[in-house]
Structure 1
């Protein structure tokens, strides 16, 4: 009878797994002791919000969906006027800009700058200002090539969607920062 002998590679693999587990546990303990915590879902001081102004833009649609996801009742112009809202979020500017910032000697565009400008304010139903007029301006740079127009158009749209998601997250965080009406 031969005794059970583990190959050396099995033992070293097991040892590496235990070392990895110990390092992971140490990292979790170290991070939890420094005050780090994942961002939690926002809590709001109100239950319903009316969105006024630009309601049909991509950012406004995504903002409406985010607020509904976070448990708020969202009222728009399509909702009957008899439905009261605790606060009114007014979107005054929601625009996209596309500017050529780099050109070749022949005048061909080589670099674009994409901008998303979003200005909003939030008031109670009694016209008390909760958030003054706030402008969010995001910029992204995009190289451009006439030989890859379709792929650059798709990249441009992707960058605009990314900026819209960023604007929505910033607006939701600012709304959640309001602690009393």
Structure 2
């Protein structure tokens, strides 16, 4: 055996002994899900659909036919300047994703009352690197979106329907 193989095996043994486990896909206790209230062509809704399609849950268009409904009341992305130079040039932005949602059944039973999900990222800015910073902003927005969907999916996994 090579030394590298022995080291790899040793790392696996150590990690398994300490209780380390990779995050698994959430297990859901319902079969169908509907998404309502998202803005048209919402990147957050698209990412949520993409992630749910990887699971055993089936997305349905008609909320009356869903076991669980995610009802989004507000979805806002914005950015504000948080630091400027003496000349008024922006040197730092704060990116925000705000989602207010609730979970309910088709029968109107509230599974999770209105919940506020707030994510922020700070980004340094330089006029001389505007194009690169635009790409960085898109990357940070995407990361927030993926994190928000992960949080929503974990909340959905905690839902247990009565009966």
Q: What TM-score does the superposition give when structure 1 sets the normalisation length? A: 0.81
Q: Which is worse superposed, 66-75 or 19-28?
A: 19-28
Partner of 2:148: 167
Unaligned runs of 5+ in 1: 1-16
Within 5 Å, give how 1:47-126 maps onto structure 2: 47-56=31-40, 57-76=42-61, 84-126=65-107
Task: Answer yes or no: is the 8 Å Cα contact 2:36–2:72 preserved in 1.
Answer: yes
> In the TM superposition, what is the alpha-carbon distance from 1:55 to its structure 2 partner?
4.7
Aligned residue runs from structure 1 range 21-36, under 5 A? 21-36=5-20
Q: Provide, for residues 66-117 of structure 1, a one-character-per-residue CA deviation record: whole Å limited to 9, x for no partner.
A: 11221222123xx5x7x61111110111111100000000111111000111
Are 1:137 and 2:118 counterparts? yes
Higher radius of gyration, 1 or 2: 1
Distance (whole Å) between structure 2 residues aligned to residue 124 and residue 100 of structure 1? 40
Q: How many matched pairs?
A: 161
CA contact (8 A) 1:93 1:117 kept: yes
Helix, strand or coil at the partner of 2:129 = helix
Q: 1:147 aligns with which of 125, 128, 137?
A: 128
Instruction: Please report the RMSD computed on the Cα atoms of aligned residues, expressed in angstroms.
Output: 1.7
- TM-score of the aligned structures, taking structure 2 as reference length: 0.90
| Structure 2: tracts of 5 or more residues without a match | none
Contact persistence 2:90–2:125 (CA under 8 A): yes
Answer yes or no: is the 8 Å Cα contact 1:55–1:61 preserved in 2: no
Contact 1:49–1:85 (CA under 8 A) maintained in structure 2: yes
1:42 is matched with: 26
- The 3-state SS of whatever aligns with 2:52 is helix
